[in-house]
Each structure stands twice: as structure tokens, then as C-alpha cells.
Structure 1
Amino acid sequence: MNLETPKKFRPLVNQARQVAQSVFRPISRKYDREEHAYPVELDMLAAIMDGMNDGTMGEGAGAGKLKAEKKNDEGIVNSTNMSTVLGLQELCWGDVGLSLTLPRQGLGNAAIAAVANEEQLKRFGKKWAAMAITEPDCGSDSAAIRTTAIKDGDEYVINGEKIFVTSGQRADAVVVWASLDRSLGRAAIKSFVVEKGTPGMELGRLEKKLGIKASDTATISFNDCRVPAENLLGSPEINVEQGFAGVMQTFDNTRPVVAAMAVGVAKAALDRTHELLEKQGMHFRYPTNMARTSEIEARLYRYEADWEAARLLTLRAAWMADNGMPNSKEASMAKAKAGRTANAITLGCVELLGAMGYCEDELLEKWARDSKILDIFEGTQQIQQLIIARRILGKTSAELR
């Protein structure tokens, strides 16, 4: 695995950094204060982002498919998953909330790209799709969802309630997780694309949050909401032996995406802290004797080492997805490490800078607030550690809870 940015992705990375610096940073504080206000400045970026996606393998916005087994002569591939994490690292260096609010770049788009068939990609690939998994009585245990989807002729009838739906108000469609038969447990859980305006789908409240305030987070209810049978993503068959594995494949793609967001905001905090400390006369002497290093320097060096580990784990998980390798363990490792590291770095930088870091004169306090969600959504820290333990020990979810 070559750790340099692939040459074909360098223009995308440079473009993402320019967007982060010239568009996101100047309006970051504005939309942090104006929660639920739509950032109209982002509309002009939609076409640019679509163009960035069109430069990939045509799998739509967000991460791409986990490929089938490759032939021996196919060689190494850097594709949609890698381009997504590289671009998001840069965008979230600018602002996490605004990155989540970019049209047609939702986590639901990554779910569609991961498991949709060709016909579904044509219908939904250009739509802005949110992801609806969490329920009032179901937090980190995605297998315990109570929303149902009952087959009725050529349609499914969906009933239930979803909370904490990122971009739930603004998106064109929502990828909804629901059970075909709750008596069969997690094996019956499937995902459905429900387009905005479908009768029976109703937007509830918008949440007020600690961070990522530029991004809307909605509650959505489904009351006898009918969707065409062809809106089911993946196989409609209930495979008890396969269990939850089919729908959980979505997370193998979206967890590295969230890890990349964490890597981006952590880098923003490190860069700004270095800049402010150097203005105060501190010089960083990496080759020097560690015994003569100040406590502030030593802490920043540890943060940088943790950041580099998180970045490399993220790249590895995305690279494996692009190259047809099962990456469930690696995706959870990247998400766990990056989420925890972003929290530690952003809060640590606030602490190191004292009043400069704590006040709204700097974005550091905002980054500290924004980073917390990255350790929570797409599976909490504890859930990631549980998944990693299962993969290492060869245990099923029933054997290791």
C-alpha cells in the first residue's frame, strides 16, 4: 500500500482544501450561531461536488461499493472509497457541519452506492439521501429496530419512527432501516429508499445540538408509508444464516467516511494550535532531545502521533474496500481510533491555549463541540470495540455481547 495520495486524486484533494478554506471557514461561525438556517452558499458547490464524483467510477456521491473478489491480474485499485475519505478530510478541516450539509453528499448516498443495483443507482444516484437508523427505543443496537416494512403486492408499507436523521429535512430521500418480520430478528432487517413527499412520511422536530449546528438533525415518522418494492436495497430474501451481514455492509463503507471527518477536524485543531503557539514565541524542535522538550510540545507530539495513526487506519479501511477485501474489522478500528482521537485532540488544544481556545474569537471551541458526534454516530466507541473483539476472537454477536 503506497501511502502517498494517488496522482489522479490530487486535484480533488486540492479543490476540497480550497473549498474548506475559502468557502467553509468564512461562514463557519455564522451557521454555528444560526442553527437550522440553510447555508445557501453551498448551493453553488453542488455542481462542483457532482463533478468530483463524476471523476470516480460513476457510483454516485459518497463511498462506493465493496467490490467482488478480484482476478489476480486486476492489480491494485484506488477508487471511490479512497477519493471520498481524502476529499472529506479536507472538507472537514474547514467545517464538519457544512460538510454534512453539502447537497447529494449524505451518508444515505454512501449506503445506496454500497448495495444498490444498477437500476437503483440510475434512479437514486444523483439524489441527496439521508440515513435513518436510530429509533427512540433503539440506540447503538441497530439490530433492535422496531420499524416494520410489510409487503403488500408491489409495495412495502412502512411504519415506525426514526430519530437523529442527519439532513433529514433537507435531503431528497431517506434510506430507512426496517424489519420485514420482527419475529425473525436481525436477519429480516432491510434498507429502503423513501423519497421526500411520499405519503405517510412526516417530518417531526429538528434537534438542537452541541455541535454540527449547520447540519439539520430531524425526527421522521412513517405511518402506513407505501414505497415501491424496487426501492428495497439489496436482496429481498430473508437469509437467517447470513443474518444481519447484508445490511451491515453499509457500515463497512460509511465508518471510514466518518473516520475521515474526524481526521479532518483534528488536523484543523492541530494546525491552528501550532500557528497560535508559534505567534507566542514557541518553536517546535522535532529532532531535539526529548528530555529538553516542554510539556506543551510533548503533548502536541503525542497528539500528532495519534492523528497519524487514525489517518493511516482510515486510509487502510478505504483502500481495502476499493480492492474487494472484507474490511469490517478495519472500518471499526478506523472509526474507533479516529473518533476518540478527534475528541482528545480538539479538547486538548482548547486546554493548551486557555482563553484563546475557549472563546469564540477562535474556531477551536467550535471544533471541540463538533468533534463529539464523530465518536457517536455510525456506531459509538463501545460498539466499535465490540465489533473489533468479535472479528479478532471469531465470535458471533450472540456469543459476544
Structure 2
Amino acid sequence: MISFEMTDQQKQVKELVHWFAKTEMRPLSLPSDKAGVVPMEWLNKVNAMGISLSTSVVGGDSRKKSSDGGAADDPETTRQTNRLGVIASEEMGWGDAAIALSLPGPGLGGPPVQTSGTPEQKQRFLGMFKKDKARWGAYALTEPGAGSDVSGIRTTARKVDGGYLLNGQKVFITNGGRASWVVAFATIDPSLGRAGHRAFVVEQGTPGFTCTRLSHKMGMRASETAELLFEDCFVPDENLLGGESYYAAKASGPSGFRVAMATFDTTRPMVAAMAIGIARAAYEYTLDYVREEYPKAGRSFQIACEKLANMKTDIEAARLLTWEAAWMSDAGKPNTKEAAMCKAYAGKAALSICAQCLELLGPVGLEGHLVEKLYRDVKVYDIFEGTNQIQHLIIARRLYEREGLRI
């Protein structure tokens, strides 16, 4: 049964990451948002410190081996990898979510390599993330015509001698422009539907693979978001994630679609935790403001107290849903429904909390203020990794799967 009491190790991780978020991330928050980029010298510094939002610290599959393909060193740490991940992710979100996504490391590309890659692929693609140089990985799934509906991807992978030729476009790819490699999803035959999906690791510098644009966004401005183009991009067989043997001959066997969905089961709790961190940052600032600036009597103070109480309740509820989803993953239990539930609830609650905080701050929270930035940043947490509507659809499907109903 899940324990709501943190272990000593979890407390230490929380304290360490909170210290880093407070002393290193928060001072850069507003300047990086204004500049639209995190300073490279700072990224190199934290990379040398060994701090990253990666599978080695956040997320990954605790049921698998370590990133180098060998046995994990610490069985206790391995059993709580995802729980540690969501604890750290919340503190990162509290510090600055855009900066957190900019930290060197495999990023969202890490989990599919960790869970589906061969030992050689894990060593090759995850082993490169060392302190000597800042490097990034990326996860390329979304397309102009296929966002939350992953089954609709149209990037193609045509088999040729020694590999595949990829053709298509990917959009909204975090760190896609500077990534050493991206996990790109494509279909070998659109008529096969999900069974035709495959996942490839495409390395930077591969002919036919280019970054065509860096997006300018309402929020998360310091986080790099790229559009990628594949034009007869040759990817060798050894870069097919999992290898040819991973994909069963029968349509019911493994596919790139399953790789993508397994990744979401791991990453959605992390995304939910970051949304909680953003909401907590806005709530804490507003709570202090109300304590110091609001008159301690009158209707306005009563309304503020009621709103703050509801915010605190939503933060705690979202955190418990997120911890449950992470605990299930660590325990080897299917958590698709729980991952969708925490993502849907946390994203919606965090957006509402930040909006209410702006209302309570009034003119103080206008442009250039921390809470105004948090409000712009948090909106995407109701969208990426699957929109709120898609999360509800996933939950409904799990509720009715015993009845055999297709929703």
C-alpha cells in the first residue's frame, strides 16, 4: 500500500532539489523568460554539478535495468525511482518549469530508450550524458495534424537496405533544435494503424534531418520548442528502438504506439508534479501577500481566505493522485488510468489556482510579476502530454474496459 510518509532518502531529494530551485533557478526565472532563453554558461555549470531532469534522477522505469544496461546499483532507489521523480519534479516546477525543461539530459526521450531500447542502445544513447559537456535528448511525436490523437501520425518510415527513410514533420518538440538525438515516431504503413508505428533514434547531423523553426510562445518562453523536418532521412537499422526483434510479426505485437503510450504512463505523473509545483509557487506567494497586505477584517479578507483554502486543498489532492500513479509504476502495476487522472486533475487545478492568485493580487500581479509568468507557463500543462479532454477519454476507456465498450 502506498505510504504518504516520505522516506529519509525522499526527504533528502526534496530538500536538495528545493535548495537548487530556490538558489539557482528562481533568480533566473524572470530574466530568462524575458530573454527567451536560459544562459548557456549557467546550463554548463549545472551540467558539471550533475543535475538534470533525466531518467537518472526523474522518471524512468524502475522495473528495468540501469541506464547502462547493467543491474541497478541500489535496489531501494530502483524501487522508488518514479516516486523520487515526482517529488523532484514538483520542486523543479516550483523553481521554474521552463528552466527545468531546459536542463541538460535525455529529457522526455529518456523513458522510451530506457524502457524499450536494447542494452546497446541504452549504453549508446543514455551513456553520453556526462558532466564533461551539456547534451540534450528529445521526444518527437506531435505533428501538425496529430497531437493528442497519436494514432494519426503521418511521418513515414520506408524500409530500405540497411535501415529506413523517414519523411514528415514534427512540431512542439522540447529541446528539439539542440538535441544530440531525438526519439522520432513514424509509421511503416498508415493502413496498419497503430500496429504500423515504429520508434527511431535520429541523431543530430543526420542528412535529411533539420530543425526548421524555434517557436515563440505565450508561456514557457525560456524552454526551447522546435519544429523538425525529415526529408528522406536515412536511419540505420540499429537505431530502430528495440531492434527488429522487438516488433512482433503479428499485428497484436509491440508497436511504436505502445512505446509512446508506455512513455506517457511514466512522464504524465512527472508533468502533473511540475504543474503542482507551479501552482504551489503561485499559492505561496499569494498567501504571503494576503497575510501582509489584506485588512484582517471585512468581506475581501474572507473571500481571499476561502479561495486560498480551496487552492491548498486542490494542491494536496493533486499531489496524492500523482504520488499514487508514481507508486503504481514503481510497484510494476499498470497505471495508465491513474497517470491520466493525475495529469488531468493537476493541470486543470494549477491553471485555476494561478488565475485566482492573479485575481487576489490585483494590479500587483501585472506583467513582469512572478505570478503573471506562472499563469502564462501553467497553461501548457493542461495541453501537452495529451490534452485534458484526451485524459478524460483514457480514464473513461479504463472504466468501461471490462464491459468491452469502445469509447
Residue 45 of structure 1 aligns to a residue whose secondary structure is: helix
Larger mean CA deviation between 222-231 and 5-14 belongs to: 5-14
Q: Taking structure 1 as reference, are residues 358 and 302 closer, same or farther at Cα in structure 2, changes over 3 Å only?
A: same
Q: Taking structure 1 as reference, are residues 230 and 2 closer, same or farther at Cα in structure 2, changes over 3 Å only?
A: same
Q: Taking structure 1 as reference, are residues 238 and 129 closer, same or farther at Cα in structure 2, changes over 3 Å only?
A: farther
Q: Taking structure 1 as reference, are residues 398 and 163 closer, same or farther at Cα in structure 2, changes over 3 Å only?
A: farther
Aligned-partner residue type, residue 279 of structure 2? A
Q: Output the CA distance in 1 between the equivalents of 2:174 and 2:239.
A: 20
- 4+ residue runs over 4 A deviation: 36-39, 50-53, 74-77, 281-284, 395-398
- Cα contact 2:176–2:182 (8 A) shared by 1: yes
Residue 295 of structure 1 aligns to a residue whose secondary structure is: helix
Matched, 1:330 2:338: yes
The residue correspondences of 1:198-209 to structure 2 (distance < 5 A) are: 198-209=206-217
Matched, 1:236 2:247: yes
Q: Tell me the percent identity.
A: 41
Larger mean CA deviation between 375-384 and 117-126 belongs to: 117-126
Q: Output the CA distance in 1 between the equivalents of 2:33 and 2:381.
A: 17
Partner of 2:382: 375
Partner of 1:288: none
Q: How many residues align?
A: 383
**Which string of whole-angstrom CA distances, capped at 9 and with x for unpartnered residues, describes residues 19-74 of structure 1?**
11111111111111112464431221123345897xxxxx6454112638xxxxx9
Partner of 2:276: 263
Q: Output the CA distance in 2 between the equivalents of 1:292 and 1:355.
A: 15
Q: Output the CA distance in 1 between the equivalents of 2:249 and 2:337.
A: 24
Matched, 1:171 2:183: no
- Cα contact 1:132–1:162 (8 A) shared by 2: yes
Matched, 1:196 2:196: no
Aligned-partner residue type, residue 99 of structure 2? L
- Cα contact 1:107–1:129 (8 A) shared by 2: yes
Q: Output the CA distance in 2 between the equivalents of 1:52 and 1:380.
A: 22
The residue correspondences of 1:239-388 to structure 2 (distance < 5 A) are: 239-242=250-253, 244-281=257-294, 294-360=302-368, 362-388=369-395
- Cα contact 2:58–2:84 (8 A) shared by 1: no
Q: Output the CA distance in 2 between the equivalents of 1:238 and 1:355.
A: 62
Residue of structure 1 aligned with 2:61, choices 60, 65, 75: 65
- Cα contact 1:6–1:78 (8 A) shared by 2: no
Q: Output the CA distance in 2 between the equivalents of 1:38 and 1:308.
A: 34
Residue 378 of structure 1 aligns to a residue whose secondary structure is: coil
Residue 41 of structure 1 aligns to a residue whose secondary structure is: helix
Q: Taking structure 1 as reference, are residues 253 and 334 closer, same or farther at Cα in structure 2, changes over 3 Å only?
A: same
Displacement after TM superposition at 1:178 (Å):
0.7
Residue 306 of structure 1 aligns to a residue whose secondary structure is: helix
Q: Output the CA distance in 1 between the equivalents of 2:336 and 2:50.
A: 28
Partner of 1:98: 99
Aligned-partner residue type, residue 130 of structure 1? A
- RMSD of Structure 2 on Structure 1 (CA): 2.6
Q: Taking structure 1 as reference, are residues 9 and 117 closer, same or farther at Cα in structure 2, changes over 3 Å only?
A: farther
Residue 394 of structure 1 aligns to a residue whose secondary structure is: helix
Structure 1 unmatched ranges of 5 or more: 54-58, 69-73, 285-290
Q: Taking structure 1 as reference, are residues 305 and 376 closer, same or farther at Cα in structure 2, changes over 3 Å only?
A: same
Partner of 2:68: none
Structure 2 unmatched ranges of 5 or more: 65-74, 130-135
